[in-house]
Amino acid sequence: MSGELPAQVRVVGTGLLGTSLGLALSARGVDVVLTDPSPTAQALARDLGAGRFASPDDDPGLVVVAAPPDVVADVVAAELLTFPRAVVTDVASVKAGPLESLRRKGCPLDRYVGGHPLAGRERSGAVAARADLFVGRPWVLTTSAETDPGALTLVRTVASALGGVVALMDAGEHDEAVAVISHAPQVAASLVAARLRDLPDQAVALAGQGIRDVTRIAASDPAMWTQILAGNAAAVVRVLRQMQTDLGELLRALDAIADGSPTGARATIAGLVCEGNRGQARIPGKHGGAPTSYASVVVLVPDRSGELARLLHDVGAAGVNLEDLRLEHSAGQPVGLAEIAVLPAVEQRLREALRELGWNVHG
Amino acid sequence: MSGELPAQVRVVGTGLLGTSLGLALSARGVDVVLTDPSPTAQALARDLGAGRFASPDDDPGLVVVAAPPDVVADVVAAELLTFPRAVVTDVASVKAGPLESLRRKGCPLDRYVGGHPLAGRERSGAVAARADLFVGRPWVLTTSAETDPGALTLVRTVASALGGVVALMDAGEHDEAVAVISHAPQVAASLVAARLRDLPDQAVALAGQGIRDVTRIAASDPAMWTQILAGNAAAVVRVLRQMQTDLGELLRALDAIADGSPTGARATIAGLVCEGNRGQARIPGKHGGAPTSYASVVVLVPDRSGELARLLHDVGAAGVNLEDLRLEHSAGQPVGLAEIAVLPAVEQRLREALRELGWNVHG
């Protein structure tokens, strides 16, 4: 499972992920070769320190294809042909379609390992790249019956060295998983946010933390998401159809209530919210562990430079480790609420310590 | 528009909102009378310092009905009858249905002002109450043709004194607004979260910040949300039908792509994501002002007690005011990313100051 990093890695595509890979591998002494169809993007990645341009003598041990999902299979096929001794991987967020396409082309699948580091950002391009992009993030590797174990070990070594948390799946499992945990949430966020477009200003002003959170990822790039959703169409359809069915049932229940014949309708509504409770509770806690119930301490923080720092300093001085922190915005008032999540065992001690120091502690 | 607080306020219902009202008004010297159908809930609110029990001589200037939406009209009607000199308001999250019901009963609507402080929490009950619950939150007041201006002034004075940001609407406008900015997001969060229930563990482990944010409010109380959605059924149906239409179009586009006949399908997908971009951009920035574009500075923070405090101390010491802070969780690694939002004018100065102090600055 462990091994040495390849001496030379070729990165095809110098967007956010490709450039971040180049930065991270270069920092570890790997000879990184950069190439991109756009000369400007390629030069930018080099100038940022992600690697060097290609030369005729290149002999990469690994090629990483960081191209958009709709061309990834073609680019992987070309790289397998051009570098017959190299292992080839990619970083595309859909896996079954490209694999099928490579198989149809008769490519040597023993040297191909599918990859998907779940390390996207709302920003894209080389300028948003960073060497630590993969640290602590899941990095799915997908294999087929043909995959050479040595090829898998090589890609796994690279993913781990860059801080990724490797998960092995087959391509279909991967696509079903991301349809639920990434693609459906994106669609839901867009559907809700789209309703805000024509809302009166006075109504928009009522927006609170709930809709902010639900719609945050609705700010994502339409071109990128069109490719992702189109590239995983079949799996995304399966998830969205289930949501459509649930939504249809909810609408029938609400219609019945609006029409004054609500028999059983309230049970349908409560049932959906309960299902949501159960699903939401499965999301892992911090650091990928099992869900942990943290205790929550709410502190009123004056909106002045340094106040939040002073609060967190006092938390640290109390010897308490902060597990999570959420700030709540206050419309029109110079005050914020900091919700500090801590282990239940230290909650009471923290409350007392902060109160003694004059903090306005709630929750 | 301004005025004095009433000397005596009767609070009917000592859950989260009623008890918080009692705490806030008691702290301002108001004689608060508490009543709740549950003797236990009523005693708890009193013991928390939210007010005293009722007595036969009570003569409240204002009655606040903080009862569940499905009984609010009956309780308001009873209070209008019992206290013929008092102004009566409520805090229910739906407004048109109760008003219609009061009108049908022939209640004196001149003394009734509908109210809805948007100050809910994921936790409920008197134990979660706090006197500052309303600070900086929108507080909608709904009036009808019958409303006495003096009654409106009284309720407005109370809402403002408790820190609420008052917005005047008619009941229908209010219900349409909250259907979009509160009820539809809740439904969307539940629909997405419900898909997680039967997902394999390995797939759930891929969950990142996106789905966390989208599904956070899916943890809310099913009983409460059943009442809210049922109480605003007609307006919620209108919003959800539009989402259903958008979802149907998206599904047709994805089906066409999966079937290999994708003419125009990608434009449909991109169109939905674009609409989401536009809607999301309308959500007000911090403090209820116009949306502001903040610059974002990303810093790698070791997951050790006190590190985040040290970082924020350094931000404060650089004379920079932090506008927002987001922590990103890292699965399986002892490191976190703090994304600090600041005004663009100070971004560069902050980056340099933090780098000089040895921080690992990105973004």
Superfamily of domain A8-170: NAD(P)-binding Rossmann-like Domain (3.40.50.720)
Q: Give domain limits for chain A.
A: 8-170, 176-280, 295-362
Q: What is the pLDDT of residue B196?
A: 97
Contact across the interface for A236 and B222, Cβ inside 8 Å: no
Residues with Cβ within 8 Å of B331's Cβ and at least 6 positions away in sequence, in order, are A136, A137, A138, A165, A284, A287, A288, B205
* Angle (nearest 5°) at CA A79 between A74 and A80: 100
pLDDT over 70 at B289, yes or no: no
Q: What is the pLDDT of residue A290?
A: 42
The residue of chain B nearest to residue A304, with distances taken between CA atoms, is B321
Contact A326, B216 (CB under 8 A): no
Give CA–CA dist A139/A134, Å, rounded.
8
């706090």: which residue's tokens? B130
Residues with Cβ within 8 Å of A40's Cβ and at least 6 positions away in sequence, in order, are none
DSSP string, A89-154: EE--S--HHHHHHHHHTT--GGGEEEEEE----SS-SGGG--TTTTTT-EEEEE--TT--HHHHHH
Element (H, E) at B34: strand B31-35
Residues with Cβ within 8 Å of A345's Cβ and at least 6 positions away in sequence, in order, are none
Please report the sign of the dihedral spanned by the C-alpha atoms of residue A350, residue A352, residue A353, residue A357.
positive
- pLDDT of B322-360, one tens digit each? 777 777 654 444 566 788 888 888 888 999 999 999 998
CA A276 to chain centroid, in Å, comes to: 21
Contact across the interface for B273 and A222, Cβ inside 8 Å: yes
Element (H, E) at B51: none
Q: Quick one: tokens of A17?
A: 């992920």
Contact B94, B228 (CB under 8 A): yes
Tally Cβ neighbours within 10 Å of residue B44: 19
Q: What is the DSSP letter of B282?
A: T
Chain A interface, mutation test: which of B121, B141, B175, B215, most A Cβ atoms within 10 Å? B215
CA B363 to chain centroid, in Å, comes to: 30
Q: What is the pLDDT of residue A130?
A: 85
Q: What is the pLDDT of residue B335?
A: 60
Give CA–CA dist B156/B142, Å, rounded.
11
pLDDT over 90 at B132, yes or no: no
Contact across the interface for B241 and A251, Cβ inside 8 Å: yes
Q: Quick one: tokens of A20?
A: 């971040």
Residues with Cβ within 8 Å of A331's Cβ and at least 6 positions away in sequence, in order, are A205, B136, B137, B138, B165, B284, B287, B288
Element (H, E) at B290: none
Residues with Cβ within 8 Å of B282's Cβ and at least 6 positions away in sequence, in order, are A196, A197, A199, A204, B291
Q: Flag whether residue A349 sits within 8 Å of chain B, measured between CB atoms.
A: no
Q: What are phi and psi of B295, to 5 degrees?
A: -85, 150
Give CA–CA dist A359/A356, Å, rounded.
7
Q: Quick one: tokens of B128?
A: 């979660």
Per-residue confidence in pLDDT tens, chain A, 363 aa: 457 999 999 999 999 999 999 999 999 999 999 999 999 889 988 988 899 999 999 999 999 999 988 899 999 999 999 999 999 999 999 999 999 999 999 999 999 999 999 987 656 777 778 888 898 889 999 999 999 999 999 999 999 999 999 999 999 999 999 999 999 999 999 999 999 999 999 999 999 889 999 999 999 889 889 999 999 999 999 999 999 999 999 999 999 999 988 788 999 999 999 999 999 999 876 444 444 567 888 887 876 767 887 888 888 888 887 777 777 654 444 566 788 888 888 888 999 999 999 998 875
Distances in Å between the alpha carbon of B38 and those of B9, B33, B90, B120?
Answer: 19, 15, 19, 21
DSSP string, A102-119: HHHTT--GGGEEEEEE--
Q: Flag whether residue B226 sits within 8 Å of chain A, measured between CB atoms.
A: yes
Q: Flag whether residue A283 sits within 8 Å of chain B, measured between CB atoms.
A: yes
Rg (CA), chain A: 25
Task: Answer whether 0.95 is exceeded by the pTM.
Answer: no
Contact B133, B17 (CB under 8 A): yes
Q: What is the pLDDT of residue B292?
A: 53
Contact across the interface for A136 and B248, Cβ inside 8 Å: no
Chain B interface, mutation test: which of A254, A305, A310, most B Cβ atoms within 10 Å? A254
Q: What is the pLDDT of residue A363?
A: 57
Superfamily of domain A295-362: ACT domain (3.30.70.260)
pLDDT over 90 at B114, yes or no: yes
Give CA–CA dist B337/A169, Å, rounded.
27
Distances in Å between the alpha carbon of A28 and those of A7, A34, A130, A133, A357?
Answer: 10, 16, 14, 15, 46
3-state secondary structure of A292: coil
Q: What is the pLDDT of residue B1?
A: 44
Give CA–CA dist A347/A49, Å, rounded.
45
Q: What is the DSSP letter of B220?
A: S
pLDDT over 80 at B235, yes or no: yes
Give CA–CA dist B26/B130, Å, rounded.
12
Contact across the interface for A305 and B321, Cβ inside 8 Å: yes
Q: What is the DSSP letter of B180?
A: I
Nearest CB partner across the interface for A282, out of B196, B202, B325: B196
Give B-chain residues touching A339 at CB under 8 angstroms: none
The residue of chain A nearest to residue B271, with distances taken between CA atoms, is A222
Q: What is the pLDDT of residue B341?
A: 83
Chain A interface, mutation test: which of B180, B238, B320, B360, most A Cβ atoms within 10 Å? B180
Residues with Cβ within 8 Å of B297's Cβ and at least 6 positions away in sequence, in order, are B339, B340, B342, B347, B350, B351, B354, B361, B363
- pLDDT of B175-223, one tens digit each? 999 999 999 999 999 999 999 999 999 999 999 889 999 999 999 889 8
- Strands (DSSP E) found in chain A: 8-12, 31-35, 52-53, 62-65, 87-90, 112-117, 138-142, 165-169, 295-302, 324-328, 335-342, 360-362
Residues with Cβ within 8 Å of B190's Cβ and at least 6 positions away in sequence, in order, are A272, A273, A275, A276, B218
Contact A253, B271 (CB under 8 A): no
Contact across the interface for A204 and B181, Cβ inside 8 Å: yes
Sheet with A62-65: list strands edge to edge. Answer: A52-53, A31-35, A8-12, A62-65, A87-90, A112-117, A138-142, A165-169
For chain B, positions 197-216, list CB contacts with chain A under 8 A.
Answer: 197, 199-200, 202-208, 210-216
Q: What class has domain A176-280?
A: mainly alpha
Q: Quick one: tokens of B272?
A: 């939905």
Same fold, B176-280 and B295-362: no
Q: Is A207 exposed, middle or buried (0-12, 13-18, 19+ CB in 10 A)?
A: buried
Distances in Å between the alpha carbon of A238 and those of A38, A54, A244?
Answer: 36, 42, 10
Please report the sign of the dihedral spanned by the C-alpha atoms of residue B249, residue B255, residue B260, residue B261.
negative
Nearest CB partner across the interface for A182, out of B191, B211, B324: B211
Give B-chain residues touching A225 at CB under 8 angstroms: 269-270, 273
Contact across the interface for B211 and A185, Cβ inside 8 Å: yes
Give B-chain residues touching A226 at CB under 8 angstroms: 266, 269-270, 273
Give CA–CA dist B334/A93, Å, rounded.
25
Element (H, E) at B54: none
Chain A interface, mutation test: which of B124, B190, B297, B310, most A Cβ atoms within 10 Å? B190
Give A-chain residues touching B305 at CB under 8 angstroms: 316, 319-322
Contact A287, A330 (CB under 8 A): no
Q: Is A164 exposed, middle or buried (0-12, 13-18, 19+ CB in 10 A)?
A: buried
